[in-house]
């Protein structure tokens, strides 16, 4: 018997990611939008990273204006950081018509997990998903 997660993975909408913007491109765009040189922007970014590390080492959540970084620890003592993106970024991306990237399986936006399971079951009758209600 298949699992519901298989249907969500196969039929759920996904963003088609393109090549990541590297540090150089990011710096170039910032310098175009400010009066700062690429060297100054790089120095500020390095200072931010060092400051962030120092504050997180103290056990502090850090609000940067771009995200909130919060340290945590697992059972083995490994430190991890959770990141919550600033709401302004999410609001800007979710504004109607703002996202210009490609969404795969966009026809399935708004479908419930039960509807995705139905799609799976139609295509995989030999390995159905049983959705308990």
* Per-residue pLDDT tens over the stretch 44-95: 999 999 999 999 999 999 999 999 999 999 999 999 999 999 999 999 999 9
Report if pTM > 0.75.
no
User: Mapped to the 3 state alphabet, what secondary structure does the chain carry?
Assistant: CCCHHHHHHHHCCEEECCCCCCHHHHHHHHHHHCCCCHHHHHHHHHHHHHHHHHHHHCCCCEECCCEEEEEEECCCCCEEEEEEECHHHHHHHHCCCCCCCEEECHHHCCCCHHHHHHHHHHHCCCCCCCCCC
* Per-residue pLDDT tens over the stretch 6-15: 999 999 999 9
Whether residue 131 has pLDDT greater than 80 = no
């Amino acid at each position: 018997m298949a699992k519901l997660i298989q249907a969500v993975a196969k039929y759920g909408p996904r963003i088609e990611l393109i090549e990541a913007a590297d540090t150089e491109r990011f710096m170039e765009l910032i310098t175009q939008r400010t009066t700062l040189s690429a060297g100054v922007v790089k120095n500020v970014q390095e200072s931010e990273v060092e400051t962030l590390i120092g504050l997180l080492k103290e056990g502090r959540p850090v609000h940067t204006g771009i995200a909130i970084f919060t340290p945590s620890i697992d059972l083995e003592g490994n430190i991890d950081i959770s990141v919550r993106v600033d709401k302004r970024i999410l609001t800007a991306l979710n504004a109607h018509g703002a996202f210009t990237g490609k969404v795969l399986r966009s026809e399935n936006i708004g479908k419930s997990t039960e509807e995705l399971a139905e799609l799976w079951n139609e295509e995989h009758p030999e390995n159905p998903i049983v959705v308990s209600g």
